[in-house]
A and B are shown apart, each in its own frame.
Chain A
Amino acid sequence: MSDAALKHVLGQPWRKPKFVKSDWLRRFIYVGAITYFIAALTTIEVDWVRVYEGLDRGKQFVLAFTNPDFGSRASDIWDGLVESIVMTVSASVVGVIISIPIGLGAARNIAPLPVYLVCRAIVAISRALQEIIVAILLVAIFGFGPLAGFLTLSFATIGFLSKLLAEDIEAMDKTQAEAIKASGARWIQWINYGVQPQVMPRLIGLSIYRVDINFRESAILGLVGAGGIGATLNTAFDRYEYDTAAAILLLIILIVMSLEYISGLVRSRVQ
Chain B
Amino acid sequence: MLRMVSATSVSRVTERGRCSYAPAYWFGLKVMLIINKLQKTYRTGDKALKAISLNVPNGQVMALIGPSGAGKSTMIRCINRLVEPTGGQVKLDDVEITKLSASSLRLARRRMGMIFQEYALVERLTVMENVLSGRLGYVGFWRSFLRRYPQSDVDEAYRLLDRVGLIDMADKRADELSGGQRQRVGICRALIQNPKLLLVDEPTASLDPKTSRQIMRLICELCEERNLSAIINIHDVALAQMFVQRVVGLRAGTIEFDGQPSELTADVLTTIYGEEDWEATIRQIDDECIVEK
Contacts and interface: CB of A to CB of B under 8 A. Distances in A.
A184 B107 contact: yes
A175 B118 contact: yes
A178 B186 CA distance: 13
A198 interface: yes
Interface string B120-133: 11111100010001
Interface in A162-186: 175-176, 178-186
B106 A179 contact: no
B27 interface: no
Contacts of A128: none
A183 B122 contact: no
B87 interface: no
Contacts of A186: 106, 136, 141
Given A184-B106, A184-B107, A189-B144, A179 B136 contact: no
Classify the interface of chain A: helix, strand, loop or mixed. Answer: helix
A200 B122 CA distance: 12
Contacts of B136: 180, 183-186, 189-190, 193
Contacts of A175: 116-118, 120
A96 to B, nearest CB: 19
Contacts of A197: 122-125
Interface residues of A, number: 21
Given A179-B116, A193-B144, A184 B125 contact: no
Nearest to B133: A193
A180 B106 contact: no
B144 A184 contact: no
Contacts of B282: none
A79 B110 CA distance: 59
Interface in B143-202: 144-145, 186, 189, 193, 199
Interface string A197-211: 110110000000000
B100 to A, nearest CB: 12
A185 B103 CA distance: 10
A180 B120 CA distance: 9
B112 interface: yes
A76 to B, nearest CB: 47
B144 A192 contact: yes
A180 B132 CA distance: 11
Interface residues of B, number: 33
A183 B110 contact: yes
B114 interface: yes
Contacts of A179: 114, 116, 120-122, 133, 186, 189
Nearest to B173: A197
Contacts, number: 83
B109 interface: yes
A95 interface: no
B175 to A, nearest CB: 10
A192 B143 CA distance: 12
Given A183-B110, A184-B107, A194 B137 contact: no
A240 B240 CA distance: 84
A184 B134 CA distance: 8
A200 B114 contact: no
B124 A185 contact: no
Interface in B70-126: 80, 82, 106-110, 112-114, 116-118, 120-125
Most B Cβ at <10 Å: residue of A181, A189, A200: A189
A176 B189 CA distance: 12
Contacts of A183: 109-110, 113-114, 133-137, 189, 193
A40 interface: no
A176 B123 contact: yes
A168 to B, nearest CB: 13
B251 to A, nearest CB: 25
Nearest to B129: A193
Contacts of B123: 176, 197-198
Contact of A180 (B80, B122, B138, B199): B122
A10 interface: no
B133 A184 contact: no
Nearest to A201: B124
A188 interface: yes
A184 B100 CA distance: 13
B149 to A, nearest CB: 12
B116 A184 contact: no
19 contacts: A178-B116, A178-B120, A182-B114, A183-B135, A183-B137, A184-B138, A185-B106, A185-B133, A185-B144, A186-B106, A186-B136, A188-B141, A189-B145, A192-B141, A192-B144, A197-B123, A197-B124, A197-B125, A198-B122
Given A178-B116, A182-B114, A197-B125, 14 more contacts: A175-B118, A176-B121, A178-B120, A182-B82, A182-B112, A183-B114, A183-B136, A184-B137, A185-B144, A186-B136, A188-B141, A192-B144, A193-B122, A193-B136
